[in-house]
Amino acid sequence: MEVLEFLDDSGQVLVKREPDKGSLEIKWGSQLTVRESQEAVFFRDGMALDVFGPGRHILQTQNIPLISKWVTRFGYGPTSPFRAEVVFVGKKLFPNLKWGTKEPILFRDKDLEMIRLRAYGSFSIQVKDTMLFVNKVVGTMGLFTTQSIEDYLRGMIVSKLNVVLSRILTSVFDIPASMDQLNTLMRVELFTDFVGLGLSMHDLYVHAISLPDEVQQKIDTKSGMNVLGNLDQYMKLKIADSLGDAAKSGGGMGDGLGLGAGLGMGMALPNMIQQNMQPVSGSSVALKLKELKELLDLDAITQDEFDKKKQELLKQL
């Protein structure tokens, strides 16, 4: 007896047609085996006649009453072949499919104005309506995998991302606090579209939303300046650390004098840094560069800050 069955070793096959090549002939009385994670659609003359659930089925008029008159009319015997095909549909969950923006999407940010964002994440799907999915999406394809539909679904997800971002966000700085809400709204927005394809979305996650490199650099620079905003407190902390180190070394009178000089220099450092971070006005570029170098040697500013200010000063020559 001919046995029709399909085992998916890759775990990525949504639909497999049997027979997949040659003449579409199935012997009358063949055995059809459908696994728990599958359903099978029986086709004859290009028409979907019935859906078989998990179990063992014998292809006879008792199981397929819609073709009883057709078989009788042509007088086929109990083992005569007839032109038909069976489409196996995977009903299991297909997890961890990837989505992402091929091109940046435009977003109006209240703080950064118009910026371009990129995003990526994952989602999981499951075939909900077997007949609808086969007839509307798969068509006449003999093998249909998750890769065959991922691009199409990715386009749907990115399209809805534009809508949801504009609805719940006014600034990209609110993204971390809004990530759970974003994931939920994305699933709600895509529910109807997936149902229309015979699919259900089990989950969808936005893993990250990223800014252009140049925008990120500006944010990092601003954050660094905010960190150095209270230079007076910063320098007092540095001086206190220096005093503690000097006390541990147990210096004498000479050390005390040196410490006093260091203390005076420490008190002057905040003013020196603030003056040198301002645009040049009245002082020569050479003098400013010299003062900046002294600050760098004292570890009061970083090498990056020194190089950046140096370039600004040299442009004014």
Last residue of a domain, one of 214, 245, 264: 214
Whether residues 69 and 19 share a domain: the answer is yes
The per-residue pLDDT of the chain, averaged, comes to 77
- 14 and 85: one domain? yes
Q: Are 82 and 102 in the same domain?
A: no
The confidence score (pLDDT) of residue 30 equals 80
Contact 43, 85 (CB under 8 A): yes
Could you say which of 66, 90, 114 is where a domain stops?
90
Q: Do 136 and 239 sit in the same domain of this protein?
A: no
Task: Mark whether 73 and 152 lie in a shared domain.
Answer: no
Contacts with 71 (C-beta within 8 Å, 6 or more apart), sequence order:
28, 61, 82
Choose the most confident range, by mean pLDDT, from 179-183, 244-248, 257-261: 179-183
Q: 59 in a domain, yes or no?
A: yes
Domain residues for the domain of 185 are 94-214
User: What percentage of the chain carries pLDDT values higher than 90?
Assistant: 30
Same domain for 105 and 56: no
CATH code: domain of residue 115 = 3.30.479.30
pLDDT score for 259: 46
At position 56, the amino acid (one-letter code) is R
Which pLDDT does position 92 carry in this prediction?
Answer: 94
Give the chain as a DSSP string: --EE----SSS-EEEEEES-SS--EEETT-EEEE-TTEEEEEEETTEEEEEE-SEEEE-STTT-GGGHHHHHHHT--TT-EEE-EEEEEE-S-EEEEEEE-SS-EEEEETTTEEEEEEEEEEEEEEE--HHHHIIIIITT-SEEEHHHHHHHHHHHHHHHHHHHHHHH-S-GGGHHHHHHHHHHHHHHHHHHHHHTTTEEEEEEEEEEEE--HHHHHHHHHHHHHHHTS-HHHHHHHHHHHHHHHHHHHT--HHHHHHHHHHHHHHHHHHHHHHHHHSPP-SS-HHHHHHHHHHHHHTTSS-HHHHHHHHHHHHHT-
- Residue 81 preceded by cis peptide, ω within 30: no
Tokens, residue 275: 């003056």
Write down the pLDDT at residue 253. 42
Does residue 27 belong to any structural domain of this protein?
yes
Distances (CA, A) of 140 to 17, 32, 47, 137, 193: 9, 20, 11, 9, 22
Residue 64 in this model has a pLDDT that exceeds 70: no
241 in a structural domain: yes
Quote the pLDDT of residue 317. 64
Q: Give the Cα separation of 203 and 124 in Å (integer).
A: 5
**Half-sphere exposure of 30 toward its Cβ, with a 13 Å CA cutoff?**
20
pLDDT of residue 164: 92
Please tell me which residue, 125 or 223, carries the higher pLDDT value: 125
pLDDT of residue 180: 92
pLDDT of residue 70: 45
82, pLDDT greater than 70? no
155 shares its domain with 49: no
Domain count, the chain: 3
Q: 281-310: per-residue pLDDT in tens?
A: 445 677 787 777 877 777 767 888 888 888
The answer as to whether 220 is a domain residue is no
Same domain? 255 vs 299: yes
Residue of higher predicted confidence among 252 and 267 = 267
pLDDT of residue 241: 62
- State yes or no: pLDDT of 221 exceeds 80: no
Query: Considering the domain boundaries, does residue 223 fall inside one?
Result: no
| Residues 148 and 245 placed together within one structural domain of the fold | no
pTM of the model: 0.62
Say if residue 190 is in the same domain as residue 252: no
With respect to residue 304, please indicate whether it lies within any of the assigned structural domains: yes
Are both 69 and 135 inside the same structural domain?
no
Which of 106-110, 206-210, 215-219 has the highest mean predicted lDDT (pLDDT)? Answer: 206-210
Torsion sign over Cα 163, 167, 170, 172: negative
Average pLDDT over residues 246-268: 51
Query: Does 303 fall in a domain?
Result: yes
CA dihedral 65, 67, 73, 74 (to 10 degrees): -130
Structural domain contains residue 50: yes
Choosing from 90, 111, 137, the residue where a domain stops is 90
Per-residue pLDDT tens digits for 204-216: 999 999 888 877 7
What is the pLDDT, as a whole number, of residue 182? Answer: 93
Instruction: For residue range 141-186, list pLDDT tens digits in order.
Output: 888 889 989 989 999 999 999 889 988 888 888 888 889 999 999 9
103 with 136, same domain: the answer is yes
